[in-house]
Structure 1
Amino acid sequence: MDRAPGLSVRAKLTLSYAGFLMLAGVLLLVAMWLYLVNSLPNVTTIIGGTLDRSALLRGFVPAAAAVMAFLLVFGLAGGWVLAGRVLAPLNRITDATRLATTGTLSHRVRLGGRKDEFSELADAFDVMLARLEAHVAEQQRFAANASHELRTPLAVSKTLLDVARADPDRDTGELIDRLHAVNTRAIDLTEALLLVSRTEQRAFTRERVDLSLMAEEAAETLLPIAERRGVTIETRGDITPTNGSPALLLQLVTNLVHNAIVHNLPEGGTVWVTTGVRPETVVLTVENTGETVTPELASTLTEPFRRGTERVHTDHAGVGLGLAIVKTITQAHDGTLTLTPRSAGGIRVTVELPATAAHSTTP
């Protein structure tokens, strides 16, 4: 915003300090003047002679003027120094802000001293810079990974077309099937990226949603996939009302249940989908059987395009955004997402969302 030039805050504080000091001096001198006028007699006998009140009053005026001149100079100089010391923390915050506008987010104010308004502002600014730095780094990784993931199907398509051009007698049916699979994967990845982008912007209307109904719908929709893989789905729990986007929350539950099905035991696996109510939140838990997952791996599975090596080479590798989408939808609904390895194998995923103002706690 363009602004007209004006006095700096330091100059304004200096003038304020000096003005206050001058006002105090004037009041003090006026009080002394009134005292001399009203209390002293016309002629006062002192040791060694007499003192004329008129002469005393005439001598008081130049002395008062000298005192006021001294107070003015002292007030301006002292006010300038004091204002500089008071505003020093603000100058550090301003310098850090200028650095941040250039793209340097690693700088921190790190203001020392005891707690006051400036230290609280500096601490809040440092927290904001840390979050911005983490967010920018995450977005950069996301962009790099997305570029790599999108380049792969395009490169495969180009290779298939080059092979077909070099060998006109090659079976076109097989080529079309492979191109269709690669193109479908690219479309799925693009749609997932768009969903992540829209969800992060929170461009959706909130409605009353029952997560238990979402869990039942997701389980019913994915039942054919579970049956083909020999996986049993068990759903149970309470009515869990929350506010949010029905479409996004259904996508969240569907992604969790789908992941739990395809990343399970080769046969005879189980998926448990449970909903519950807490004093201020509602909880959705999806856990499955499967291979042992380390805590280190579990902590990274919500990163975009992150897949365990044992998952990438299966026909259900996906686009690597399933849990990343779940995390984004959870955050957009002001909730928390927790991944915990099960001691018997598999993983437990817990989504906790704010409950509606009035909810039922009936089992």
Structure 2
Amino acid sequence: MARAPGLSVRLKLTLSYAGFLMLAGALLLGAVWLFLLRYVPDRLMIVPGSTGGEITGPFPIRSNLLQVFAPRAAAVLGILLIVGLLGGWILAGRMLAPLTRITEATRLTESGSLSHRIELSGPSDEFRELADAFDAMLARLEAHDAEQQRFAANASHELRTPLAITKTLLDVARNNPDRDDGDLVERLRAVNARAIDLTEALLLLSRADQRSFPRERVDLSLLAEEAVETLLPLAEKRGVSIETAGDVSFTCGSQALLLQLTTNLVHNAIVHNLPANGTVWITTRADRDRTVLTVENTGERLGPRVVSTLTEPFQRGTERVHSDHGGVGLGLAIVKSITQAHDGILTLTPRLTETGGLRITVDLPAAH
């Protein structure tokens, strides 16, 4: 947006300092003049012979005082003006020096650099708070930019994989006309279904990040029951038992997204469980201001470092990527995004027991 050029902040502060100093000096000189007018008579009568000379009339005191006071007062105001301009320019420069560093950092950010920091030293004041806030913002932007780059690279790789498999299958079928078309169609169908699932997951992740959804009062306990009912055949097929418990827990948000969150958590707990006789525990709890959904499962023993990466897109842990039910690697990433879109807190904790597994807690604001 084009704007007309104006005075710099430093010049404005300089003029303000000089103007205030001139005003204070003028008021002080005015007070001195009023004091002199009050206690000095207009004329002074001198008794003949008291001064050693012959004075026959009154002596004009005020007029002579004005002639002496006025030039000196003007000189004082001139000196105050010079001192105010020079001192104000120097003081304004020192005061605005941190702002200059912040402006330079902003210009570097505008050019695309996010790795620099202001790191303003000195005591805590308004400029220091502004610089620290700017550094924190740059750190978040840099982390977000790096995450987006990793996400774009991983998404491209994941989307390219089914396309490459499809191309390979079609090339093999073209070079071998006697190949069974039924097996080819079935494999192409599986690859296409995976590509569709990945695309839908990416769209859902984008929708949650943009927070473009209506909000309503939602009971997490009902969503948990619905998710369990949907995934019960998969749990029975894999020999996993599901236990649900908890209270009616209301929060405010999108019912579709929160159902997707709950379904992803339950699906993750079923798929990444023990090979046999695994267990999933689902509980809901309602406090005064918070609503908590907890999904806990047995499974492989995970370290804190592995757990800290599970919510990143396309991260499936160590052995999970080789599973037939590994999914597209966006399950917990979607859970994290939906939780943040609902102003909640997602916590992943490894279970330090013989049966291993993971404990996931979603803490959301309660709906009153």
TM tier, smaller: over 0.9
Alignment of 1:120-139 (within 5 A): 120-139=129-148
The answer to whether the aligner puts 1:187 opposite 2:203 as a matched pair is no
User: SS state of the match for residue 177, structure 2?
Assistant: coil
Question: For 1:229, which of 238, 249, 257 is the aligned residue?
Answer: 238
Question: In structure 2, what residue type is equivalent to 1:153?
Answer: P
- CA 1:85/1:173 → structure 2, altered by over 3 Å: closer, same or farther? same
Distance in 2 between residues matched to 1:75 and 1:237, nearest whole Å = 72
Question: In structure 2, what residue type is equivalent to 1:355?
Answer: A
Q: Are the equivalent residues in 2 in contact too, given 1:36–1:57 (CA < 8 A)?
A: no
Q: Are the equivalent residues in 1 in contact too, given 2:218–2:252 (CA < 8 A)?
A: yes
Question: In structure 1, what residue type is equivalent to 2:327?
Answer: G
For 1:360, the equivalent position in structure 2 comes to: none
Distance in 1 between residues matched to 2:146 and 2:276, nearest whole Å = 40
Question: For 1:101, which of 110, 119, 125 is the aligned residue?
Answer: 110
For 2:29, the equivalent position in structure 1 comes to: 29
For 2:56, the equivalent position in structure 1 comes to: none
Distance in 2 between residues matched to 1:210 and 1:53, nearest whole Å = 91
Q: Are the equivalent residues in 1 in contact too, given 2:40–2:61 (CA < 8 A)?
A: no
Give 1:51 deviation, angstroms: 9.2
Give 1:167 deviation, angstroms: 2.0
For 1:361, the equivalent position in structure 2 comes to: none
Distance in 1 between residues matched to 2:178 and 2:52, nearest whole Å = 135
Alignment of 1:286-301 (within 5 A): 286-301=295-310
Q: Are the equivalent residues in 2 in contact too, given 1:207–1:244 (CA < 8 A)?
A: yes
Question: In structure 1, what residue type is equivalent to 2:155?
Answer: A
Distance in 2 between residues matched to 1:294 and 1:309, nearest whole Å = 11
The answer to whether the aligner puts 1:168 opposite 2:177 as a matched pair is yes
For 2:124, the equivalent position in structure 1 comes to: 115
Question: In structure 2, what residue type is equivalent to 1:4?
Answer: A
Alignment of 1:274-313 (within 5 A): 274-313=283-322
For 2:158, the equivalent position in structure 1 comes to: 149
Q: Are the equivalent residues in 1 in contact too, given 2:246–2:285 (CA < 8 A)?
A: yes
Q: Are the equivalent residues in 2 in contact too, given 1:18–1:72 (CA < 8 A)?
A: yes
For 1:355, the equivalent position in structure 2 comes to: 366
Alignment of 1:57-76 (within 5 A): 57-76=66-85
- CA 1:231/1:61 → structure 2, altered by over 3 Å: closer, same or farther? same
Q: Are the equivalent residues in 2 in contact too, given 1:44–1:52 (CA < 8 A)?
A: no
Report the TM-score when normalising by structure 2. Answer: 0.93
User: SS state of the match for residue 34, structure 1?
Assistant: helix
Report the TM-score when normalising by structure 1. Answer: 0.94
Give 1:24 deviation, angstroms: 0.9
Distance in 1 between residues matched to 2:332 and 2:348, nearest whole Å = 10
Give 1:313 deviation, angstroms: 1.9
Larger Rg: 2
Question: In structure 2, what residue type is equivalent to 1:59?
Answer: V
Question: In structure 2, what residue type is equivalent to 1:136?
Answer: D
User: SS state of the match for residue 348, structure 2?
Assistant: strand
Give 1:279 deviation, angstroms: 3.2
Distance in 2 between residues matched to 1:61 and 1:294, nearest whole Å = 86
For 2:223, the equivalent position in structure 1 comes to: 214
**What residue ranges of structure 1 are gaps of 5+ in the alignment?**
358-363
**What residue ranges of structure 2 are gaps of 5+ in the alignment?**
54-58
Question: For 2:334, which of 310, 325, 329 is the aligned residue?
Answer: 325
Q: Are the equivalent residues in 2 in contact too, given 1:44–1:53 (CA < 8 A)?
A: no
Distance in 2 between residues matched to 1:43 and 1:53, nearest whole Å = 9
Equivalenced residues, count: 357
Give 1:33 deviation, angstroms: 2.1
The answer to whether the aligner puts 1:340 opposite 2:349 as a matched pair is yes
* Structural RMSD (CA): 1.9
User: SS state of the match for residue 323, structure 2?
Assistant: coil
1:328-353 C-alpha deviation (Å, 9 max, x unpaired) = 00011111111111122111111110
Q: Which moved more, 1:343-352 or 1:113-122?
A: 113-122
- CA 1:225/1:2 → structure 2, altered by over 3 Å: closer, same or farther? same
Question: In structure 2, what residue type is equivalent to 1:32?
Answer: V
For 1:316, the equivalent position in structure 2 comes to: 325
For 1:87, the equivalent position in structure 2 comes to: 96
Give 1:125 deviation, angstroms: 1.4
Question: In structure 2, what residue type is equivalent to 1:142?
Answer: F
User: SS state of the match for residue 309, structure 2?
Assistant: coil
Seq. identity, %:
72
1:274-309 C-alpha deviation (Å, 9 max, x unpaired) = 111233211111111112111111111111000123
The answer to whether the aligner puts 1:264 opposite 2:289 as a matched pair is no
Distance in 2 between residues matched to 1:174 and 1:316, nearest whole Å = 20
- CA 1:51/1:313 → structure 2, altered by over 3 Å: closer, same or farther? same
- CA 1:279/1:44 → structure 2, altered by over 3 Å: closer, same or farther? farther
Distance in 1 between residues matched to 2:51 and 2:216, nearest whole Å = 95
1:217-236 C-alpha deviation (Å, 9 max, x unpaired) = 10011001111111111111
For 1:10, the equivalent position in structure 2 comes to: 10
Question: In structure 1, what residue type is equivalent to 2:365?
Answer: P
